[in-house]
């Protein structure tokens, strides 16, 4: 068998490879999460993608029909126009015996005891050392630290992964997962060199055969370079990094002209993003995409991708780097 | 003797360690550059710091009195209010037999033949793959690729080192130096993992005993965290990342209110920055500082710093990473 990389992440999550597929709204569905699990990595279903707790329960059951390997659930506490009651989602997570929950967005404090009492470990994803410290203080078991280059919400501090990862490793007494900017084995090796226990990849898993995303979107992301992302909603202090498509450019232009939440809201509706992703109208909604799209050049199967990333990292760690050392 | 790291950078520049101290205006003077050379790394004097070619010639002579090891000269082609004639500076570089020139800012094309004919290799520092490709096409020997987290001029694309480094390694057929966000051995190991031949450090060398910078500035940078930098001059499309001091905040506030170059110019004068740096009036001018200041916690001697960075990288490459591999 090929050499593998063993870290606290692989040990705690019971997987072969130190790679996590973080929650992606509309994308982290059973087909992708099961493929990630079968590939020996750890994926998260996004609870809110399924609309209600019953939908999440069905998605968990469906994923289990596709794999007997472990996977988790992402719970994102973002400001939404309609408040969400997360309690019933957590009930489902606990009842189904999900081993790990990825929390993101607002402070998970109101829910953490309930999640942990149910037996899951909590991995909080955040974009600053201040929030990471707070998350550890309230009992989170790991931190997924997300740099400025990430897809989705990078926060408002604009600190990059290269700085946040070693800072988090120094400041926190829990394992740190490196997130934001990772798409290949070089990134995995670099993250491990900085002291992380593994990487979280989003955009990279989105551009795979199994991702439930329209072919047009995958192809557009393959063609895109690292300069083809934009930050929208900066003026609302709810910044999101997305593919620089026509929809995003329109929002940025409106923001420049001083548009407020009321004018922007119709363009920000998740329905547009969902349509873009599922119907392939690539310019008709926001599509979260990180700068790592500059490193994405193909649409592999998930298993092939994970094997390639790990193989490259093993080659770097086992051969290329040691060969640089003088005796 | 302790193990060392050998790359194309150490071979081409004839130094012990794959670490470069890039040009820093007002800071890259003989005392620092000689200390870097003596430590086995490669430093660059900044030509423009010395005002005129005679000043540069004297600085080179002074550096040579302090060390017999190799060092280089940085030539920055930035938009300046008063046009600079670079020809005479290049004459000095050639006459003095300087082995390597770091070019930065605008395209070095008008000068590259003259520099190379004189025997120096040219390392062009840039912030985008497009500019890097162009620089290689006109004959640059290496590229120092500078991510969004860097001190000074990150360009306008805002792409981070974690993406730019592997992209540059893939796209270019010359060695790539990783720049922007590097301050310790973890960063060096990560850069090598991504395929770079070494790292460029700026802020980290600025905060050393030998750097000709007022103690107040060094102490302020030690106290600062990764969130204590700001981008100024974004509205002028000549963005610079600086310490978030009162001076920088004032400029950003003026930019927000629509101030143009004419109103901003007095605040942008290099004289203010020089005073801040040399007289220790930390809030009385712009001080270039990268996000790596979040990783800087002390004011070591240069020799001690280089040894620590290399020692940590050797430990990571030689032990910590290989221990993660299963047999």
What is the residue extent of each domain of chain B? 8-213+297-321, 229-279
Task: Report the share of chain A in percent with pLDDT over 90.
Answer: 95
- Which pLDDT belongs to residue A81? 66
- Which pLDDT belongs to residue A2? 80
Q: How far apart are CA A24 and CA B278, in angstroms?
A: 50
| CB of A25 closer than 8 Å to CB of A61 | no
- Chain B CB within 8 Å of residue A7 CB: yes
Task: Look at the alpha carbons of B169, B171, B175, B181 in this order and tell me if their dihedral is positive or negative.
Answer: negative
Which CATH code is given to the segment(s) A8-212?
3.20.20.70
Q: Is A118 exposed, middle or buried (0-12, 13-18, 19+ CB in 10 A)?
A: middle
Q: 3-state DSSP call for residue B74? A: strand
Q: How far apart are CA B3 and CA B315, in angstroms?
A: 9
* Residue A267 token pair: 């363009």
Complex-level ipTM: 0.97
Return the axis-axis angle of helices A302-315 and A30-38, rounded to nearest 10°. 40
Strands B42-46 and B19-21: parallel
CATH topology of domain B8-213+297-321: TIM Barrel (3.20.20)
Q: What is the distance in angstroms between the Cα of B229 and the nearest Cα belonging to chain A?
A: 10
pLDDT-derived band at B288, boundaries 50, 70, 90: very high
Strands B100-105 and B72-77: parallel
Residue A322 to residue B325, Cβ atoms within 8 A: no
Task: Look at the alpha carbons of B26, B251, A159, A230 in this order and tell me if their dihedral is positive or negative.
Answer: negative
The pLDDT tens digits of the residues spanning A185-234 come to: 999 999 999 999 999 999 999 999 999 999 999 999 999 999 999 999 99
- Name beta bridge partners: A230: A242
pTM: 0.97
Please name the residue of chain A whose CA is at the shortest distance from the CA of residue B147: A160
Element (H, E) at B105: strand B100-105
- Which pLDDT belongs to residue B236? 93
Q: What is the distance in angstroms between the Cα of A118 and the nearest Cα belonging to chain B?
A: 31
- Does residue B1 register a pLDDT over 70? no
List chain B residues with CB under 8 Å of A318.
Answer: 322, 325
Residue A226 to residue B164, Cβ atoms within 8 A: yes
pLDDT-derived band at A1, boundaries 50, 70, 90: low
Restricting to A residues 263-292, those with a Cβ less than 8 Å away from any Cβ of B are 291-292
Mean pLDDT score of chain A, rounded to an integer?
96
Closest C-alpha among B284, B147, B280 to residue A163: B147
Within a 10 A sphere around the Cβ of B242, how many other Cβ atoms? Answer: 23
Q: Which long-range contacts (CB under 8 A, 24 or more apart) does B265-274 make?
A: B265/B81, B268/B233, B270/B25, B270/B26, B272/B247, B273/B25, B273/B26, B274/B26
The pLDDT tens digits of the residues spanning A122-150 come to: 999 999 999 999 999 999 999 999 999 99
């Amino acid at each position: 068998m090929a050499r593998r990389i063993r870290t606290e992440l692989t040990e705690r999550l019971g997987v072969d490879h130190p790679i996590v597929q973080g929650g992606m709204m509309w994308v982290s569905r059973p087909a992708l999460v099961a493929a990630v699990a079968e590939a020996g990595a750890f994926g998260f279903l996004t609870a809110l993608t399924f609309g209600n707790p019953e939908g999440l329960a069905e998605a968990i059951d469906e994923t289990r029909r596709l794999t007997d390997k472990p996977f988790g659930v992402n719970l994102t506490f973002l400001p939404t126009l309609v408040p969400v009651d997360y309690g019933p989602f957590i009930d489902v997570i606990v009842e189904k015996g999900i081993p790990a929950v990825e929390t993101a967005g607002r402070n998970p404090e109101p829910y953490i005891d309930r999640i942990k009492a149910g037996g899951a470990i909590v991995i909080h994803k955040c974009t600053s050392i201040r929030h990471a410290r707070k998350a550890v203080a309230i009992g989170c078991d790991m931190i997924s630290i997300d740099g400025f280059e990430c897809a989705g919400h990078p926060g408002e501090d604009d600190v990059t992964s290269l700085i946040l990862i070693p800072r988090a490793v120094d400041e926190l007494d829990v394992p740190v997962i490196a997130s934001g900017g990772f798409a290949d084995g070089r990134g995995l090796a670099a993250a491990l060199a900085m002291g992380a226990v593994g990487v979280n990849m989003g955009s990279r898993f989105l551009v795979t055969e199994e991702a439930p995303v329209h072919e047009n979107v995958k192809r557009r992301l393959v063609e895109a370079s690292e300069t083809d992302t934009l930050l929208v909603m900066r003026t609302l202090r709810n910044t999101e990094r997305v593919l620089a498509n026509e929809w995003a450019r329109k929002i940025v232009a409106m923001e420049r002209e001083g548009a407020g939440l009321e004018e922007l809201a119709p363009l920000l509706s998740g329905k547009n993003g969902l349509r873009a992703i599922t119907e392939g109208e690539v310019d008709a909604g926001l599509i979260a995409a990180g700068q790592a799209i500059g490193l994405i050049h193909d649409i592999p199967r998930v298993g092939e991708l994970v094997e390639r990333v790990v193989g490259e990292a093993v080659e770097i760690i086992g051969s290329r780097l040691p060969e640089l050392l003088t005796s």
